[in-house]
Every structure is written in C-alpha cells, then in structure tokens.
Amino acid sequence: MKKSARISVIAKIEEAKEREEARKLAEYQREVLDKKIKLQELEGFLNEYKERFMKLTRFGASADKIRSSHAFISQLNKAISQQHNAVVEAERAADEYREQWVRAKRRMEILQKAVNNLRRQERQHEDRKEQLTIDELARRKRQAY
C-alpha cells in the first residue's frame, strides 16, 4: 500500500472527527441562542409586569398587592440574573468547543495537504519511472538496428 493511501485513511478518520466536532459546535451555538431567547423573554415579561405594576399603583393598590408585586419582581430579577449567567456559561462552552473544532479542522487540513503532496510525489516518481522505461526501450530499439 502506498504511503499516500495509508495517510489517506488517517485523513478520512480526522475528517470524520472534524465533522463531528462541527456538529457538536452547532449544538452548542443553538444552546446559546436558546438561552439568549429565554433571557429576552424574561426581560420582556419583567418590563410588561413593571408597566402593569406602575398602572396599578397609580390607581391605588393595597399594601399586600404592592409587597407581592415587589417580591415577584425580585424573583424575576433573580431569574434574569441566573439566565444571564447561563448565557455567559453557554457562550464560554461554545467558545471552548469552537477552539476544539478549529484544532480538528487544522489537523484534517494538514493531513489532506500531506496526502495531496504524497500523491503528487508518487505521480512524479511514476512518471519518471515510465520515462526511464520509454527511454530504455528507445535505446534498445536503436541498438537493435
């Protein structure tokens, strides 16, 4: 088996690994997007709730209602803070995985270049051998006359 064929097998394995890393990276990126959407939804809900609370307090509200609204707003703020932390953590994980994918892609590209170079060298070697054979046949033919 030629050296290019042996390395080609390894390159194909690395290519499969790179595709898997790319698939996983896409999952991480979807997770980041999902978490950001949830964060935006929480922030939107908080803003809507605050507006309703402001309208409620303008028309007069009981102390219990005001306290429960403040407690609910506090819980929403806590949920928003936790979701923000989840977004930051998901982005960090996606960035780390992006680095893994880049490394896998580089390995694959290096091996593919090596295979291409080896194939080119093997073709050149075969061409030289063929030319030597042709030259030798021509030389023998001339000697035979």
Q: Which pLDDT value is given to residue 93?
A: 96
Q: Which pLDDT value is given to residue 47?
A: 95
pTM (predicted TM-score): 0.72
Asked if 3 and 118 touch (Cβ cutoff 8 Å), the reply is: yes
Q: Which pLDDT value is given to residue 40?
A: 98
Q: What is the pLDDT of residues 5-39, one digit of tens each?
A: 888 999 999 999 999 999 999 999 999 999 999 99
Asked if 100 and 21 touch (Cβ cutoff 8 Å), the reply is: yes
Q: What is the pLDDT of residues 45-98, one digit of tens each?
A: 999 999 988 888 887 778 888 889 899 999 999 999 999 999 999 999 999 999
Q: Closest Cα partner for 84 from 144, 13, 32? A: 32
Q: 144 pLDDT band (50/70/90 cuts)?
A: confident
Q: Which pLDDT value is given to residue 1?
A: 82
Phi, psi torsion values for 59, nearest 5 degrees: -95, 5
Q: Closest Cα partner for 21 from 97, 109, 111? A: 97
Q: What is the pLDDT of residues 96-124, one digit of tens each?
A: 999 999 999 999 999 999 999 999 999 99
Q: Residue 145: is its pLDDT beyond 80?
A: no
Q: Which pLDDT value is given to residue 91?
A: 98
Domains of the chain and any CATH numbers? 3-144 (1.10.287)
CA neighbours closer than 13 Å in the CB half-sphere of residue 135? 6
Q: Closest Cα partner for 3 from 131, 123, 130? A: 123
CB atoms within 10 A of CB 27: 11
Round to whole Å and give the CA distance between 32 and 29: 5
